[in-house]
Amino acid sequence: MKIGILGSGQVATTIGHKLIQLGHQVMLGSRTQNNEKAAAWVKAAGSAASQGTFADAARFGELLWNCTSGLHSLDALREAREDNLRGKTLIDVSNPLDFSQGFPPFLSVCNTTSLAEQLQAALPETHVVKALNTVTCSVMVDPARLGPKHDIFVSGNNEDAKALVVMILKEWFGWSSVIDLGDIKSARGTEAYLLLWTRLYGHLKSGEFNIQLVRREL
């Protein structure tokens, strides 16, 4: 499959490597055509890898990922252009983290809305599915590194797009437990979890942890 990843940071390159290993063609998108980090990734990833602008990657991909800084995701998607995103599934891993006052960050969007809802509102004909934003990127693509069973979440309005993302999480990335929280508004919960995630990170000095739900059997 042709996959476009908006982003050139560690999440984009980690997911990109995994998708290339799985046999897909991947283009990373940036503000500029010749982004240095994307160029280094293309060199390391081989002939199935390519780079371009946000618009190039969005046009290229049959399936799209938003791996841009949460503070700038709306700008990045605007640059990607609505006509390149129309009708496609966009897996949104971004978090609205604002580090302008240091660590831990605060959320730039929260409570009565979420970044995922803002992206969906800006792109009404794109199927935004929030996923994987609650774990560090090494765990996103290799959940087994933390053990056999722990939980990941999806939120989105389009059931077919969500089913595609659940398949990708389970069959491509190896997640055994995917919890469908409901429509895109439910991303308010997973984005706000970053308030706890960042504090756990500060406490544990590592991002390699995740949620494992424990509940009373009914």
State the residues that interact with ligand NAP by CB under 6 A. Answer: 7-12, 30-32, 35, 67-70, 72, 75-76, 93-95, 97, 133, 136-137
Q: Alpha helix (H) ranges present in the chain?
A: 10-21, 36-45, 54-60, 73-80, 82-85, 115-122, 137-140, 159-167, 187-192, 194-204
- State in angstroms the smallest separation of the CB of 53 from ligand NAP: 9
* Contact (Cβ atoms closer than 8 angstroms) between residue 140 and residue 93: yes
Of residues 70 and 156, the one with the C-beta less far from ligand NAP: 70
- State in angstroms the smallest separation of the CB of 214 from ligand NAP: 23
Of residues 21 and 32, the one with the C-beta less far from ligand NAP: 32
* Contact (Cβ atoms closer than 8 angstroms) between residue 216 and residue 198: no
> What is d(CA 122, CA 109) in angstroms, rounded to the nearest whole number?
15
- State in angstroms the smallest separation of the CB of 134 from ligand NAP: 7
- State in angstroms the smallest separation of the CB of 204 from ligand NAP: 14
- State in angstroms the smallest separation of the CB of 109 from ligand NAP: 12
Of residues 50 and 94, the one with the C-beta less far from ligand NAP: 94
113-118 own/partner pairs: CB under 8 Å, 24+ apart: 113/188, 114/184, 114/185, 114/187, 114/188, 114/191, 114/192, 115/70, 115/73, 115/187, 115/191, 116/92, 116/155, 116/184, 116/187, 116/191, 117/184, 117/185, 117/187, 117/188, 118/74
State the residue number with the nearest CB to ligand NAP: 9
Of residues 44 and 160, the one with the C-beta less far from ligand NAP: 44
* Contact (Cβ atoms closer than 8 angstroms) between residue 4 and residue 60: yes
Of residues 25 and 210, the one with the C-beta less far from ligand NAP: 210
- State in angstroms the smallest separation of the CB of 216 from ligand NAP: 30
Of residues 38 and 166, the one with the C-beta less far from ligand NAP: 38
